[in-house]
Every structure is written in structure tokens, then in C-alpha cells.
Amino acid sequence: MGTSCSLFAIEPHESLLEVEAWIGRLAARLTRFDEGSEISQLNAAAGEWMEVSADVESILRDALCASEMSAGMVNVAVLPSMLAVGYTRTFSEGAGVATLDQARPLPRLSCVLDLARGRARVARGAGIDLGGVAKGWMADRAVKLLGGNAVTNLGGDLMASGPGPDGNGWPIGLGGVTLMLRDQGAATSSVRRRRWGDLHHLIDPRSGLPARTGLEEVSIVASSGFEAEVFAKTALLLGPDLAPAYCAAHALAWWLGGRDDC
């Protein structure tokens, strides 16, 4: 997944290894950096219907929900912009050549992604990069697979289930403080990592270019890892004037970081 992942459970057993393997298998099907992955094949078949697995169909349906929940701010049809900013290969391999003149505002996801039972179609000229939406989705399902009292943390998108090691919840560091989470998710959206020069990976769908909103990092606690991911990214894209009211309406707890909070 190109990031650090952790699984914790109070009573470790074989399911830890099983869930780790499940995450690895699913991540391999979702990456856009492998031409043989399910998402890469879907992008390559743009304009045509393609059969997809139940997991990929579910993630894509939730991606459509994320778009609606965020009024279009969270949009996985971001691949053309990712390529335009030079994010053409895994971050560990270094950035490619940016062609910013090719970046365009993103169409609403519902305009370029069609879903039917067991099938999906991406419009010609569009492309899917699931990013944090997939991490939040996977964190929620992985903790259910572990069952009971556990935490999954997939690159900062996490879900905590159960009472934690001492019965008071799971201690989670967020925005410089430790919160005790129980049956809650958390996520951080940031432009401080995955940067190259003046560019970064978090695209503003209104411009198709890297976001510059006055916020650099947002951390959110919500009822699930998926919701936390959507709310955190939306708040960062809204910027410091609108994000506080948005977070107050949607999040259980939040932290907003600007340039002075580095």
C-alpha cells in the first residue's frame, strides 16, 4: 500500500495473520501502479463495462457515497490530475515529470463512473485512484474481521473496536493529544507528506491541481474510518474559514493544522 499498516488485538490469534494477508491481497487489486491490478484494468478499459469483484464493487459504491457526502470534494476520479502533477509511479521511486497544463477541474464522480451488479465502467478520458477512500474502507472491514477488541491502522486511516486494553478505549494520538477511542474511526488528511518540490498528492477537484487552501493537515474522529477519511479530506479542501463549522457539524473531534502548526 506504500504506507505503514498496523493491526492490534487484545487476544492475538491466527486471525491477525489472516487479516494481514487479506489486506495485502486486496491492496494488490486496488493499486494503480500495477498494470495487472483490478483498478488498472478498469482504467485501461475506460468506456467499456468490466466485471469487478464484490470488494471492488463495494469500494466503488462507497466512493460514490463519499462524493455525495462531500458535495464532490472527495473524488476518486483523480487519476488524470495525479498523472499531470507527476505522480506517475510509486512515491518511493520518485516523482515523474509534471505536465500541469494538462490538469483540469474534475468531473463529478457520478458523471464518469457507472456501476451495476458485478460490473463497473469508467468514462473515456477518466481514471480512478482510490487513495484514502480505500484505506478507510479497508480499516473498517479489517477490524470487523479481527472481531471484538481490536484496532486497524492503515496509513493513518484507523478504526478502533471494543473497550481497548484497559477497558477505557484505545489510546490514539491525534493532533498532538491522546484520545481514547471505542467503536470509532480516525483519519488524517495532509499535504505535508508525499511532496516533491511545490507539488503534492492531494488534489483539489475544483482546479485539478494540488490543494492550496490555507490548511495543511486535518485530523478527524468519526463513527468509522471511512467517514473520518471523507470528513478530513473535505475539511482540508474547504480551508480555514469553512472547515471549523463543517467539522462541528460532522465530526466527533477534530484538529486543524496550518503553516504555523508545523
Using one digit for the tens of pLDDT, what is the confidence trace for 223-260? 999 999 999 999 999 999 999 999 999 999 999 998 66
- How far apart CA 123 and CA 46 sit, in angstroms, is 5
Residue 113 is placed in which grid cell?
A: 463512473
Among 12-16, 53-57, 161-165, 256-260, the range scoring the smallest mean pLDDT is 12-16
User: Which residues in 132-168 are b (16+ Cβ under 10 Å) and which e?
Assistant: bbbbbbbbbbbbeebeebbbbbbbbbbbbbbbbeeee
Cβ proximity of 43 and 32 under 8 Å: yes
Over 70: is that where the pLDDT of 12 sits? no
| pTM of the model as a whole | 0.94
Interval 108-123 mean pLDDT:
98
pLDDT of residue 14: 65
Mean pLDDT of the chain: 93
The H or E element containing residue 203 is strand 203-204
Q: Is the pLDDT of residue 13 over 80?
A: no
pLDDT of amino acid 262: 45
Average pLDDT for 80-96:
86
Structure confidence at residue 98 (pLDDT): 85
For residues 67 and 109, what is the distance between their CA atoms, to the nearest angstrom?
Answer: 7
Task: Note the pLDDT of residue 240.
Answer: 96
CA-CA distance, 174 to 220, in Å (whole number)? 8
The separation between the first and the last C-alpha atoms of the chain, rounded to the nearest angstrom, is 26
pLDDT tens digits, 185-221: 999 999 988 778 888 889 999 999 999 999 999 999 9
* Selected residue with higher pLDDT from 262 and 30: 30
* C-alpha torsion sign, points 144, 184, 193, 176: negative
Q: By mean pLDDT, which of 22-26, 48-52, 160-164, 189-193 is the weakest?
A: 189-193
Place of cell 478499459: 45
Q: What angle do CA 1, 103, 100 make, to 5 degrees?
A: 90
Task: Please give the pLDDT value at position 260.
Answer: 62
- CATH numbers and ranges of domains, the chain: 5-261 (3.10.520.10)
160 pLDDT above the threshold of 60: yes
Residues in the chain: 262
